[in-house]
Amino acid sequence: MTEVISPATPEQLREAISWALGSKTPLEIIGSGSKISYGHAVAASHVLDLSKLTGVLFYEPEELVMSVRAGTSLAEIHGILRDKNQQFHFEPGNFPGLLADGVADHAGTIGGLIACNISGPRRIKVGAARDHLLGFEAISGRAEDFKSGGRVMKNVTGFDLSKLMAGSFGTLSVMHTITMKVMPCDEKTRTVLIACDDMQIAGSAMTRALGSENEVSAAAWIAREQVVKLGLDIVTGIGTGIVALRVEGPAPSVAWRCEALRKLLADIGASEELHSANSNAFWQAVADVVPFAGGIGLLWRVSGPPASGGAIAAKLADETGGKIMMDWAGAQIWLQLAGGDAMADKVRDIAVSYDARAVLVRAPEDIRNQVPVFHAEDAALARINARIRENFDPEGILNPGRIGHMIAKRGNA
């Protein structure tokens, strides 16, 4: 029977990891469990549950910095930030609807978010979650306390281990304290919607928009049949697929840039605008990947050069019959497959042919046991990754197997 250990303080966390190290007991690390199915299943008899390790240690809006315990819920953090008209600029999505049946809609902790390095549509302008992690404190797989980074924006003091921890899926250390950069909300947000059913034309439209002077902060393409699932009447009313381009900033600037974008892309199709609350609701739905939520079908995420997005998407749709949504101006493609076949070789071959990478974000456990979830690196990189893992967690007690084949060459795993 799985035993759950729930430390409520960093000291208790260290004690638990020290015991696991001494007894060579693998631990599965979870927060709210909202992303528990992201990655390979972890073979562990014990769960290290961080959901009691909560609390805001400090929040200084004028300094744009917040430090919290890793198990603090994102819902609580977003609420605190909203009160001061601030936000995480990388606008992470809520993934329970995508990944975890039976977990509350807005579940998710800051620790899980950073461990998986999840970033939303504004990624194209402001960077990923990892770019907003200023510092952390953690217990490594050696049961040793360590920290890196700090609380200031500009810091080149020693190696940037924050970058290493972001996206490491809890395989190097267990972070208990996380210090983040926060940013003010923009004065205005508007979204230009352009009718477009063709994903290749959509891709080139997004490339043109991003190459213009209009500082687009998000760019996505939603197919006609997915648009309905967004639940926004004004969007559904267009009746076609849409290219969506967001502009944010001071009010006069936003109005000027939206107009410029509509002129720039007048040859693509009719355009419409979403203002304020509608614009926010639209992009939250894109961040949450709402068109593919509900746990139905396998879901791939293909990430590559943005200008290739349209071509990659078209080829994926053509060769797999799957449904497509493009975000990050084409640099992130979501592919939902209806059947039970992950079509892993086909998806990965298409991705690699465009210098892109494919990750199987959602699939039943039996498929995740058969198909490498993460994109495998070449042998030299895999060796470095493996050495890092061994140096931080020599007994392999932290989330063993979670990233599975990520650190081994594809085919040699």
Partner 1 sequence: MPEPDQSTLARRKDIIAAMRDIVPNEGGVIVDEDRLRPYECDGLMAYRQLPMIVVLPENTGQVAAILKYCHTHKIRVVPRGAGTGLSGGALPMADAITISMMKFNRVLDIDWDNRAVVVQPGVTNLGITRAVEHKGFYYAPDPSSQIACSIGGNIAENSGGVHSLKYGLTTNNVLGVEMVTIEGEILRIGGKGLDQSGYDLLGVITGSEGLLGIVTEVTVRILRKPETARALLLGFNSSEEGGNCVARIIADGIIPGGLEMMDAPAIKATEGFVHAGYPLDVEALLLVELDGPKVEVDYLIERVGAIARECGAVYSRISESEDERLLFWSGRKNAFPAIGRISPDYICMDGTIPRRRLAEVLTGMQVLSQRHGLRVANVFHAGDGNLHPLIMFDANQPGELERAEAFGADILKLCVEVGGVLSGEHGIGVEKRDLMPEMFTEDDMKHQERLKLAFDEDELLNPGKVFPTLHGCGELKTLHAREVASKFPDIPRF
240 sits near partner 1 (criterion: CB under 8 A):
no
Task: Please give the DSSP secondary-structure letter assigned to residue 271.
Answer: E
Identify which of residues 161 and 196 has a Cβ nearer to partner 1 in the complex. 161
**Binding segment toward partner 1, per CB under 8 A, in 270-278, 285-293, 301-309, 315-323:** 301-309
How many H-runs (helices) and E-runs (strands) does the chain carry?
A: 15, 18
Nearer to partner 1, 41 or 185 (CB): 185
C-alpha distance from residue 154 to each of 49, 125, 160 (Å): 33, 19, 11
For the four alpha carbons of 303, 308, 309 and 311, in that order, the dihedral sign comes to negative
Assigned token pair, 320: 């797999």
Which of 160, 198, 272, 273 binds partner 1 (CB under 8 A)? It is: 160
Q: How far is the CB of 143 from partner 1 (least distance, A)?
A: 6
345 is an interface residue for partner 1 by CB under 8 A = no
Residues near 333 by Cβ (< 8 Å), separated by ≥ 6?
Answer: 301, 302, 303, 304, 309, 312, 313, 316, 324, 325, 326, 327
Indicate the residue among 183 and 232 with the shorter CB distance to partner 1. Answer: 183
Give 106 or 151: the residue with its C-beta nearer to partner 1: 151
297 C-beta neighbours (distance < 10 Å), count: 16
CA torsion sign for 123, 97, 196, 282 is negative
Q: Based on CB atoms, which residue is closest to partner 1, 7 or 96?
A: 7
**156 makes contact with partner 1 (CB under 8 A):** yes
Q: With binding defined as CB under 8 A, does residue 158 bind partner 1?
A: yes
184 counts as binding partner 1 under rule CB under 8 A: yes
Letters for 306-335 (x = contact with partner 1 by CB under 8 A, - = none) are xxx-------------------x--xx---
Question: In the structure encoding, which two tokens stand for residue 193, read together?
Answer: 């919607």
User: Which is closer to partner 1, CB of 118 or CB of 235?
Assistant: 118
What is the rounded end-to-end Cα distance, in angstroms, of the chain?
A: 29
Out of 76, 198, 215, 272, point to the residue binding partner 1 (CB under 8 A).
Answer: 215
Q: For partner 1, which residue of 45, 52, 319, 339 counts as binding (CB under 8 A)?
A: 52
State which residue, 321 or 394, has the beta carbon closest to partner 1. Answer: 394
**Rg of the chain over all Cα atoms, to the nearest angstrom:** 21
x-or-dash string of contact with partner 1, 114-143, rule CB under 8 A: ---x-----xx--xx-xx--------x-xx
Are 206 and 330 in contact by the 8 Å Cβ rule? The answer is yes
